[in-house]
């Protein structure tokens, strides 16, 4: 059996704001943007080269969903962006305006720093050491 997680849904305030941020600040590609009618769109972004999972950007459609924007995990780190060159990507992301909430640090598992996305969700930028 061949199965994988294809997308993770990320609740956002606005489709275009999120597309702009992910493509400009993280260098992601816009993979799909399909109008589904009634103001709803199927919007998928992911790292260039699309290895692994992608993000399905879902505009908040109710007050309950709007309250979850930026805090989908109750304040914990939500997503982990793995890189093969931490210093390169950290510098590029800072230059693009990404907000890091801490300085890079070394951990037994690799080099890591927490940043926030356009909606306020916490992410780790991480380069794993040898496993």
- In this structure, are residues 23 and 10 in contact, taking their beta carbons and an 8 Å threshold? no
pLDDT for residue 52: 83
Overall average pLDDT of the 81-91 stretch:
96
Count Cβ neighbours within 10 Å for each residue of 86-100 and write b for 16 or more, e otherwise.
beebbeebeeeebee
| Rounded CA separation 35/37 (Å) | 6
Q: What is the DSSP letter of 102?
A: S
Question: pLDDT (tens digit, 9 = 90+) per residue, 22-39?
Answer: 999 999 999 999 999 999
Question: pLDDT (tens digit, 9 = 90+) per residue, 45-70?
Answer: 999 886 789 999 999 999 999 999 99
Coil/strand/helix, residue 98:
coil
């Amino acid at each position: 059996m061949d199965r994988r997680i294809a997308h993770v849904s990320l609740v956002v305030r606005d489709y275009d704001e999120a597309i702009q941020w992910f493509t400009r600040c993280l260098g992601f590609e816009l993979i799909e943007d399909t109008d589904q009618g009634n103001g709803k769109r199927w919007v998928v972004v992911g790292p260039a080269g699309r290895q692994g999972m992608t993000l399905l950007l879902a505009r908040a459609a109710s007050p309950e969903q709007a309250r979850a924007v930026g805090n989908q995990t109750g304040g914990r780190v939500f997503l982990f962006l793995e890189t093969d060159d931490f210093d390169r990507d950290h510098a590029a992301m800072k230059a693009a305006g990404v907000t890091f909430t801490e300085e890079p640090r070394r951990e037994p598992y690799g080099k890591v720093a927490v940043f926030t996305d356009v909606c306020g969700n916490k992410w780790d930028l991480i380069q794993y050491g040898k496993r």
